[in-house]
Structure 1
C-alpha cells in the first residue's frame, strides 16, 4: 500500500499550488499501474499535466485516470462488492466517505495510514484515517456578463428574481448544494442552513421551477452550457465556471453558496494495496494556505479559499448529508417527477 499512500500524500499535501507539485516519493523498484478515478471533464487533463505526469516520472508508476460520476458512491460500492477493483484510488467528498464507511452496514474504504506529521500545513479536518482532502470547491453561481451587461446578479435571491434578471437558467439535478442555495434565496442565513429544512427548500424551488431551462447532470455539461451561452446563469462548481472563463467565455462567478472538499480514498480489498498515493488541484482552493504564496494574485481571486470569497461561503455539513442524503434525495427526485 506504500505507493498508494505516497500518491495520496503527494497530491493531497503538495499538489495544492496549481502546477507546483512537490513529489515526496522514492522511485518505485518496478513500474506498475494505478487507476485513479477523478471528476473527469476539464479536471482530467489538468490533473494529468500538473500531477499524474510528474508522479509517473518520479516513481515509474503509470497513472490511468478515469472519470467517475458526480456522486461516485454507487460506483465505489459496486467496485468493492463485485471484486472488480476497477479503481485503486478515487476522488471523493466527506459526505461520500460517510456513506462509504458506515460500520453498521459495510465499510468500503481502506485505511490510509498516513501520519499527521506528513501533512504539515494542511488545514484542520483535511486528513482522517481513510480520506485526505486536497481541493476545496464552491457550489456557487455563474452568469454570462454579455447577457447581464447592466444589472448583474449578486446572490441567490437575484437568481430567483426572474423579473429583474430574466434569462435562461440552469440548475444541478441533485439536492446537494441545491437545497442550500434554495434556502439562501428564501432568506435563510448561511449559519442557519443546517439542519436543512427540505420541505422549505422545495417550496422555494417551486417558485423558480418553471424558469429552469436545463437540469444539468455533470460538471462537463455545466461548463459547456456556460461556455456556449445556452444558459445565462446557473449554479456551478467554481472550477467548472473557471473552465468556461479560461476558454474565453464572458462568465462571472458570484461567491455565495456553500463549499466542500474533494479528497482521496482507497477502495477496501483492492488487489494493489501496495501501489499508490498522490494529489492535485485545478481551479479549486488549496487546503494549505501557504500555497497562496505561489499562486498569481489574479488567479487567487478566482479561488474559493481566497479570503474575500470564503467569507460568503458556508461549509457543507457533511455529517447531516451523510445521515439524510437518501431521504432528501427521494423527496427531491419525487419533486422533479411532479414538475
Structure 2
C-alpha cells in the first residue's frame, strides 16, 4: 500500500503553489548545490530560513527543486541519473531509503551534531526539524475538564463527543496501546508481537462508533476541528498551532504525543557529495534551525536552538521539541514502521472497512 506523507497532505490541502528558488547562472567557477524538498510553504520556509543563508555563508549558488517522495529518489538512484545533492525527506522515508541502499553515508567528521537531541541523526540521515502527532480538542466543548492523555481520548463517558482519527495506521497504533495502559517505553515491544498488534487495532475498533471521520490529510483534521464537526482529534501539531494562534477555541497537549523527524539525506551518487556534507553542517547549526522554528511551527533538532534567546520562550513553549515538551512524548520508531508497516496497514484497513 502506498503511504502518502504528512507533508504531501499538508501541501496539497493548503492550496498553495510550490515556489522554488532558482538562482541566476553561477558565476565563473562558483560552486553550485541542488537541494530538493516538497514545495509549498514548507519549502519556502526552509529556503528563506535555512538554505539561502547557509549557501551564502558557504559562498555557493543554490538550485532548488521539488519532488514527490521516495519513489522519485529511488528512480534517480537506480537509473544512475542523480543530479540532486541534498534531499529533505521524512524519517520513515529515510529509513526505507537507507535499507534500500539509496543513500550516501554522512560524514560526521564534517557535520557537527554534538548539540543535537540524542537519536536525531543516523548513518544516512540528519534531522532538519521535529514534529508531533498530538491530542487536540475544542475548548468550548470541554470547558470544565480538558483531556490530558490518550486514555481520555478513548474515555467517551467522561469526554463524550465526536472524534477524528487517522485513516492510516502509521503513528496511530501507539496511542491506542498507551490508551490501553501500555507504558510508552513498552509500546514497540508490545507492537512487535502478534498479540500486541491485534490489541492496538482492536482498541481503535472499539472506538469506531465515536469516530466521525478517519482523516486523510492535515487540512482535513484542522478543518474538522475548526468547523466543530468533531470535538477532539489526533492531529499534527503544525496544523493546530496556527488555529490556536488565530484565536480559535482549540487546544492541544504534547502529553503522549508521537514525536517524529523530517530529515536531510544525500542520494547515492550525488554529484557534489563533499559540498553536501559542508552544507548539512552549516544548515544544522542552531541559528538556522531556530529561524526555521520561528517561520514554521516545527521544533529544532539542535538543542542549542533553544538557548541564548534564539527562540523566544513564549514560542519555544509551543514547539514539539522544546525540552519541556520533548520529555512528554514518545519518539516514533521509523525502523519499526519500515519493517512492519505493510502488515500493520493491512490489518488496520480491514478494521476500518468492517
Q: Matches of 2:79 and 2:111 in 1, distance apart?
A: 35
Q: Matches of 1:326 and 1:43 in 2, distance apart?
A: 28
Matched, 1:252 2:251: yes
Aligned residue in 1 for 2:10: none
Aligned residue in 1 for 2:12: none
Q: Which has the higher contact order (CA 8 A, sep 6+)?
A: 1
Question: Which of 289, 299, 303 lines up with 2:315 in the alignment?
Answer: 299
Q: Matches of 2:66 and 2:111 in 1, distance apart?
A: 30
Aligned residue in 2 for 1:330: 346
TM-score (norm. length: structure 1): 0.77
Distance 1:306-1:123 versus aligned 2 partners, 3 A rule: closer
Aligned residue in 1 for 2:50: 51
The within-5 A match list for 1:309-328 is 309-328=325-344
Question: Which of 116, 123, 128 lines up with 2:117 in the alignment?
Answer: 123
Deviation track 1:193-233 (CA, whole Å, cap 9, x = no partner) reads 01212100110001111222232223344344444444332
Aligned-pair Cα RMSD in Å = 3.0
Aligned residue in 1 for 2:198: 199
Question: Which of 159, 171, 178 lines up with 1:165 in the alignment?
Answer: 159
Matched, 1:308 2:324: yes
Paired residues in the alignment total: 305
Distance 1:144-1:74 versus aligned 2 partners, 3 A rule: farther
Q: Matches of 1:229 and 1:220 in 2, distance apart?
A: 14
More helix by share: 2
Q: Matches of 2:321 and 2:216 in 1, distance apart?
A: 25
Question: Which of 122, 140, 147 lines up with 1:146 in the alignment?
Answer: 140
Say whether the 8 Å CA contact 1:56–1:63 is kept in structure 2. Answer: no
Q: Matches of 1:28 and 1:239 in 2, distance apart?
A: 41
Question: Which of 280, 300, 314 lines up with 1:286 in the alignment?
Answer: 300
Unaligned 5+ residue runs, structure 1? 1-26
Deviation of 1:328 (Å): 1.4
TM-score (norm. length: structure 2): 0.74
Aligned residue in 2 for 1:62: 62
Deviation of 1:180 (Å): 0.1
The within-5 A match list for 1:78-227 is 78-81=75-78, 85=82, 88-102=85-99, 106-115=100-109, 118-195=112-189, 196=191, 197-227=196-226
Distance 1:123-1:243 versus aligned 2 partners, 3 A rule: same
Deviation track 1:170-204 (CA, whole Å, cap 9, x = no partner) reads 22222121000111111211121012121001100
Matched, 1:267 2:267: yes
Say whether the 8 Å CA contact 2:205–2:351 is kept in structure 1. Answer: no
Say whether the 8 Å CA contact 1:28–1:60 is kept in structure 2. Answer: no
Unaligned 5+ residue runs, structure 2? 1-26, 284-288
Say whether the 8 Å CA contact 2:120–2:126 is kept in structure 1. Answer: yes
